[in-house]
Structure 1
Amino acid sequence: MKNRGSFSIAMFLLFTCTLATKCVAQESNVWENYKNAVQNNTEPILPNFSYAGYRFSETGIPEAAHKVFSVQDFGARPNDGISDKKAITKAIEAAEANGSGIVYFPAGKYLINTKDDDLNTIKITSSNIVLRGPKNPSEKAILFFERDMPPTVPEHLWTSPYAIQTKTANESTFITDITGAARRETHTIQVSDASKIKKGDWVIVQVKDNDPKFVEQDIYPLPLNPKWTSIIEDGVQVNERHKVASVSGNKITFVEPIHYTISEQQNWKLYTFPHLTEIGFENLTFEGNWKKNFVHHRSAQDDGGWSILNLTGLVDSWVKNCTFTNINRAIYFSHCAATTAQNLVIDGKIGHSAVSVGGGSTGVLLAFINDKAGMQHASGVGGGSTTATVIWRSKHPAHSSFESHASQPRSTLFDNIEGGFFSGRAGGAVKNLPNHGRYLVLWNYKETDAPETNFPFVAKDMEYWRVVPPIVVGFHGAGTTFKPDEVQIVESLNAPVKPESLFEAQLELRLGELPKWIQDLKNDSPK
């Protein structure tokens, strides 16, 4: 190991294959390090990503069996050219009043945000609500959003509301101070008073500290740019969401590991995490009316006119088997945990962003996302110190690249991604840089655009692309190489490694076997 400041940064020898050489996947040294660390209870190089997803990915997404509230029973009439928004809202309200419900859309086209409608967001404010279309793929329920949602602040192009939003009624509140130190990738913390905490609670592990030494340590070895005012003034921010497994005195053990080392030098705190559970969207097509050729930041319409799902404050929830057509932003996950989006298609006109995870979310799984349109920002992360996001077995075209939208995302896994890979598409204002913090992991990423020599994670020709050195394993496809001083690890360059999927391997190691839902999803998903 080579020590850089207070961090140990491993640099493995490059195993490089030319494009003309047939390469056989080798067992990853980084993976061996992880297995040994788990066995010996030492700190691994890799974060443990295996807890991402619905119910920590230990089980598949359920077939919810609540009482059915058909939107047609509340006045919706597909294919008649008349708005169905009020009927849909009434059906959701009836399901919420019941305490649970399937809001069902029979096949057909339902109109929302027509000239006769208000442009208020449709809100879901209770747990156990599922919006569902027909299970038979030949029968499509289409939610067509005719008009765009104008920005709430006209001069701020990014403020267009989403058409549908989940929202909790309560705000997060302070519980107690965290005392003592705790190493990353461990499960137990010490607090000053655990009397208000019990098994099964969800809490937020939080720090906000602008001590210059702490800031420097957080972004090392990147030099601090005076323009990065968010991290300079507001400080390093961590907002990890965790489920309590047990409480013993003032020791709290979480189901999942923490991903940031807790030091006594900072003032770490524990907060409540108000949330909704078992919210689902499935077998639906969300269609916008976006017909223009996209230009980034040209207008509020380009950046967010047809924004569909803003999923805020969710635990153990999902979006599955849905299509998003002619939209500007498909899904934004904010303040979520243990939630999954799987088997999604984004097609039609190019828009602003695909599926984005932000707002301090922890352990969100994006699985089999097929961005056929090639959004300006393909699926990825950003905002609010989001942690332990997994983007797994997903695709985007060569003209697009993954999102890492600044505001302190950390510990993100791009696992078996196929698509373009280049700087300048990550997004984020200069004041909110760097684009990504420590432990960005690219695992068996297949690049489909043109290769680059000495690809930079610190761009020289722009000020918008700055990434704390990532871990790059099994990167292949085009022949791109990386600058050695801008990566934490490069292993097996231009040749995939074993295990093929880090997420699957970590999950199998934790559970002793790979859950059946994983193989079922791989078998059922389009290749």
Structure 2
Amino acid sequence: MLKKIALIFLFQIVLGYAKAQEIAPLWKDFLEAKKTGKEAVLPDFSFAGYHFSEKNIPDVSKHKYFNVKDFGAIPNDDKFDDEAIQKTIKAAEAYHKPAVVYFPAGKYLIAPDEDASKYISIHKSNIILKGEGSGINGTEIYQANKRVNGRQFIFKPNNAKPEKITQIIKNAKRASFEVTVTDASTLKVGQDIIINHRSEAYTKQYFAPLNLKPQWTRLFGEQGGMLIFEIHTITKIEGNKLTFKNPIHLDINMIEGKSWNILTYPSIEECGIEDILFTSNWKSYPEEFVHHKDQIHDYAYEAVGMEFVKNSWVRNCVFQDWNEGIHIKSGYQISILNTHFRGKKGHASVHARAGYGVLIKNCSFNGAQHHGAGNGYSAVNTVITQCTLGKDQNFDIHSGQPIATLFDAIEGGVFYNLGGPEPGYPHHGKDLVLWNFNHLAEKNQHYNFWDETRRRNNTIAQPILVGFTSNTTVTFENIGVNQSQGKNVLPKSLFEAQLKLRLTHAK
């Protein structure tokens, strides 16, 4: 009887909590748009992560294991293991089936010199780097010497140069899934492609009525403009009409003299990193980090790069004492999960650019880098959800006009002093959404999101804030939407709610 009363009491508490929180009006708008086929204010961010979060990351225990110790690596000594690790990777690649490059527990040394042209490479699909855990008595990979602008593990296909296939010949709406091309005869269902365009005329049209400063020089001239680089998967071909798996995130409008091209998307896939502690000797450098002081402070120790990689992941790892942790370029359906950034402060943690659907979930960035997770340079549909940042740690919108970015159920962090050079401004295009973002700062803040008077400003096109909270007074101007400031809203996570809605409708 007492148990039953306790359950009723708990239910009443939960029900009262739900009533205390309001359902966000923009969520109601999104649901209505899905019912009626109209265009919602919010983008559909659910197309993010490994296989667009429709599949679980595989259990790799059944893959064939290639043990680095069998190829000459010796943990916990003073010798370097770069060559042995690379030999192990080559053997795994030659297997031509899913394979694990396995690091038994212990500390492995890499980077015996300061030659930044050297790195450990993965060029083929189905290769997973796996250790025995990122905690005590687990696997540690330690970069001993600085290699400025040299990432130490790079996943990248041998041929990573997109090629033109055809052109789009009709306008298409944001949030739609179809385009019409001149010739679809060489395309196939299941193929990944890139929508590519760049022109000053379209850029002015896209940002209107916002003014573009002449100092933003990359936007102007015959070769200028925001670079559009959306990756999509074809699900249907009818004549010259292509249907995509994932939505388009901007209006496609024909521009005289400037084509909208369909390019190939060369990639490797099903690659991963899990259960490893990555560390470096940045902790011993005799200066504390100063943002942009010099190349050493920004780029001396960089851990992982992923370029033209799809359906891949990093999970259950720790990056401690790094100038840069994970850099993802032209990634497609990538998940960074349960991964944490610690140690001496450095430059960047996770940065995604020129890709689509990078998901960063359940990660912590608590002051270990100047920038928490973020993106830049044409990235589309980047989702950072259920993560924690440090007080006054800024997220990274690194200019170059990324579009449709979601910061979702975030605890901590600020958004002043965003990254990127002034010629590459604006920082962000449309559809930057902050959903249940809890801003933590030492001082009150005022954000002008389209400030043309200062060099270091926030140039974000009409951002959308829903359920924004803060520990100090925060005010805004030049904002697109600001709903329910000062209190959290339902759903708690926009990404999870949109994903559940999509997967439910798919059944």
Task: Tell me if TM exceeds 0.5.
Answer: yes
Distance 1:110 1:514 in 2: 46
Partner of 2:374: 380
1:479 Cα deviation (Å)?
A: 4.5
- Does the 8 Å contact 2:134/2:316 carry over to 1? no
Greater relative contact order: 1 or 2 (C-alpha under 8 angstroms, separation 6 or more)?
1
> Which one of 66, 70, 85 corresponds to residue 88 of structure 1?
85
Amino acid at match of 1:93: K
**Amino acid corresponding to residue 66 of structure 1 in structure 2:** H
- Contact 2:133-2:139 within 8 A present in 1 as well: no
Question: How many Å apart are 1:341 and its aligned residue?
Answer: 0.4
Q: Which runs of 4+ in 1 moved over 4 A?
A: 115-119, 135-138
- Percent of matched pairs sharing the same residue: 35
Aligned equivalents of 1:174 and 1:393: distance in 2?
A: 38
Q: Secondary structure at the match of 1:33?
A: helix
CA RMSD of aligned residues (A): 2.0
SS in 1 for 2:357: strand
Aligned in 2, Cα 1:89/1:183: closer, same or farther, shift over 3 Å? same
Q: Which residue matches 1:392?
A: 385
Kept after mapping to 2: 8 A contact 1:280/1:319: yes
Task: Report the 3-state secondary structure (helix = DSSP H, G, I; strand = E; otherwise coil) of the residue aligned with 1:163.
Answer: strand
Whether the 8 Å CA contact 1:121–1:162 is kept in 2: the answer is: yes
CA distance in 1, matches of 2:347, 2:136: 29
Are the structure 2 counterparts of residues 453 and 287 from structure 1 closer, same or farther at C-alpha, using a change threshold of 3 Å? Answer: closer
Task: Report the Cα offset of residue 139 of structure 1.
Answer: 3.5
**1:280-429 counterparts in 2 under 5 A?**
280-291=272-283, 292-358=287-353, 360-383=354-377, 385-424=378-417, 426-429=418-421
Deviation at 1:45, TM superposition (A): 0.5
Quote the residue 1:3 is aligned against: none
CA distance in 1, matches of 2:137, 2:166: 51
SS of 1:482's partner is: strand
User: 67-76 vs 446-455, which deviates more?
Assistant: 446-455
Matched position secondary structure for 2:236: strand
Match for residue 54 of structure 2? Answer: 58
* Residue segments in structure 1 that go unaligned for 5+ positions in a row: 1-21, 151-159, 516-527
Partner of 1:520: none
Query: Equivalent residue for 2:153?
Result: 164
Corresponding position: 1:227 with 2:223: no
Q: 1:249 aligns with which of 235, 239, 242?
A: 239
Q: Which residue of 1 aligns with 2:427?
A: 435
| 2:500 maps to which of 505, 508, 519 | 508
In structure 2, the partner of 1:98 is 95
Structure 2 counterpart of 1:180: 170
Residue 10 of structure 2: aligned partner: none
Aligned partner of 1:74 in structure 2 is 71
Counterpart residue identity of residue 203, structure 2 = V
> Are residue 487 (structure 1) and residue 479 (structure 2) matched?
yes
Counterpart in the other structure of 1:112: 110
1:468 to 461, 472, 481: 461
Q: 1:369 to 1:514 in 2, by over 3 A?
A: farther
Instruction: Give the CA deviation at 1:24.
Output: 2.7
Which ranges of structure 2 fall in alignment gaps of 5 or more residues? 1-17
How many Å apart are 1:466 and its aligned residue?
1.4
Matches within 5 A, 1:25-40: 25-40=21-36
Deviation at 1:451, TM superposition (A): 5.4
| C-alpha contact 1:324 1:345 (8 A) present in aligned 2 | yes
Report how far residue 138 of structure 1 moved: 4.7
2: CA distance, partners of 1:412 / 1:117: 36
Aligned-partner residue type, residue 33 of structure 1: D
Amino acid at match of 2:282: W
Give me the whole-angstrom Cα distance separating, in 2, the residues matched to 1:145 and 1:456: 41
Q: Is the 8 A contact 1:182 1:188 kept in 2?
A: yes
The alignment partner of 1:97 has SS state of helix
Does the 8 Å CA contact 2:365/2:388 hold for their aligned counterparts?
Answer: yes
Partner of 1:17: none
1:524 aligns with none
SS of 1:483's equivalent in the other structure is strand
Distance 1:136 1:122 in 2: 20
Q: Quote the Cα distance in structure 2 between the aligned partners of 1:144 and 1:453.
A: 39
Answer whether contact 2:441 2:472 (CA < 8 A) is retained.
no
Deviations 1:352-378 (A, max 9, x none): 0110111x1101101112113431111
Q: Which residue of 1 aligns with 2:227?
A: 237
Q: Kindly provide the amino acid, as one letter, of the partner of residue 452 in structure 1.
A: N
Q: Supply the AA of the counterpart residue of 2:216.
A: W
Q: Report if aligned partners of 1:429, 1:464 keep a CA contact under 8 Å in 2.
A: no
Range 27-36 or range 474-483, more displaced: 474-483
Q: Against the structure 1 CA distance between its residues 68 and 331, is the aligned structure 2 distance closer, same or farther, given a 3 Å change threshold?
A: same
- What letter corresponds to residue 212 of structure 2 in structure 1? L
Instruction: Check conservation: 1:76, 1:88, Cα contact below 8 A.
Output: yes
Query: Which deviates more from structure 2 when the two are superposed, residues 193-202 or residues 256-265?
Result: 256-265
Please give the per-residue CA displacement for 1:50-84, whole angstroms capped at 9, x wherever unaligned: 01000010122111232110000001110011111
Judged with a 3 Å threshold, the aligned counterparts in structure 2 of structure 1 residues 116 and 503 are, in CA distance, closer, same or farther, namely: closer
1:417-463 Cα offsets, whole Å, 9 max, x none, are: 11121411x10100000111110000000112145354322345544
How many positions carry a matched residue from both structures? 479
1:189-211 Cα distance to aligned partner (Å, 9 max, x none): 11111111111100001111122
